[in-house]
Amino acid sequence: MIQTVLGKIAPEELGICSAHEHLSIDLSRVKKDPDTILDDEQGMREELEDFYRLGGRSMVEVTNDGMGRDALVLKRLSKATGVHLITCTGFYKDPFIPEYAGDWKAEQFAQHFMKEAAEGIADTGILPGVIGEVGTSKNEMKPIERELLIGAAIAGAETGLPVTTHTTLGTLGFEQVQLLTKQGLPVDQIIVGHQDLNPNKEEVLSVLETGAYIAFDTIGKNNYRPDGERVDFLLDFINRGFEKQILLSADLTRKSHWKKNGGPGYGLVLESFIPKLKEAGVSDSILQQLLIVNPSRAFSIREGS
């Protein structure tokens, strides 16, 4: 089963899924840029309606506490638009971890995530469907990030919730998997984020070879890396037989990313990236695998945990 903000659904109900997005977010405390605040609920609704119109049916919303998570807004949006929304428990990375958790050890992180998984987020009664996005810095795992990841792994193994990560510019993906699995978290319960930002192919392949999922989840952010390079890497990974381990998304976090502000909007994978893959010869069955089948497996809560 998959846990959405409106309740549990069967994996086959998920439909076309964006695996790593943000609807309500506020990173301005750290980034000092009002563009990194998304708080216009009507605007979120319109963007989601556009996503739905383009074929999108579900979205994993990985904004956690410290980033501006608002589970009640997600619940209202899901009801209004019919898009399945999955919310999260977790913390992001240094320096986005809220002050109250700033010196926690792994066991405290784990207890907190397990409490939210069992009882819901604050007093909303809304259950998280994923632990994330939990992350590391660029080429560096800070001590607090290490505790956070271990805590996420313990909670994931205990609750069956998948763990989705943030890597900074794609770095340390392999190290994250090593650390998480060492705590007893099954490797197929791990989604390593932002792997499309790492131009070092050997490093990304080393993550794929562990059996973990990887996310190509910054599609359209051509300022970081041109989509043409994403297409090239993706084709190579598919040719090597890794098509069952890859998820797609756009990771929008800014007002300027929204359609109404002249940005590409949440449907950009469907509107502009999938046509590029088709043109490059990727079959419809592989596209279905990437957009529907893989997320339905990756975000299923593991039984018997």
Residue 20 annotated in ligand binding:
yes
Residue 133 annotated in ligand binding:
yes
Is residue 196 part of the contact set for Zn ion (CB under 5 A)?
no
Nearer to Zn ion, 50 or 251 (CB): 251
What one-character DSSP code corresponds to residue 140?
B
Looking up tokens 């080429």 gives 139
Q: d(Cα 14, Cα 269) in Å, to the nearest integer?
A: 17
* In the complex, least distance from residue 62 CB atom to Zn ion, rounded to whole angstroms: 5
Nearer to Zn ion, 18 or 157 (CB): 18
* In the complex, least distance from residue 190 CB atom to Zn ion, rounded to whole angstroms: 16
Contact yes or no for 80/52 (Cβ under 8 A):
no
Per-residue contact string for residues 245-264; x = within reach of Zn ion by CB under 5 A: ------x-------------
* In the complex, least distance from residue 123 CB atom to Zn ion, rounded to whole angstroms: 26
Nearer to Zn ion, 94 or 251 (CB): 251
Nearest 5°: the CA angle 251, 117, 62 is: 5
Rg (CA), the chain: 17
Report residue 111 as tokens.
């207890």
Distance of CA 186 to the CA centre of its chain: 18
Contact yes or no for 201/237 (Cβ under 8 A):
no
Size of the site for Zn ion (CB under 5 A): 1
Is residue 26 part of the contact set for Zn ion (CB under 5 A)?
no
Handedness of CA 142, 144, 147, 152 (dihedral sign): negative
Nearer to Zn ion, 126 or 134 (CB): 134
Nearer to Zn ion, 218 or 282 (CB): 218
Contact yes or no for 69/88 (Cβ under 8 A):
yes
Residue 112 annotated in ligand binding:
no
Residue 217 annotated in ligand binding:
no
Q: d(Cα 64, Cα 156) in Å, to the nearest integer?
A: 16
Nearer to Zn ion, 28 or 288 (CB): 28
* In the complex, least distance from residue 135 CB atom to Zn ion, rounded to whole angstroms: 9
Piece of 85-93, 116-124, 145-153, 244-252 that binds Zn ion (CB under 5 A) = 244-252
Residues 6+ apart with CB under 8 A from 301: 1, 2, 3, 129, 159, 160, 161, 162
Question: Which positions touch Zn ion (CB under 5 A)?
Answer: 251
Binding residues for a divalent metal cation: 20, 22, 133, 166, 194, 251
Binding residues: 20, 22, 133, 166, 194, 251
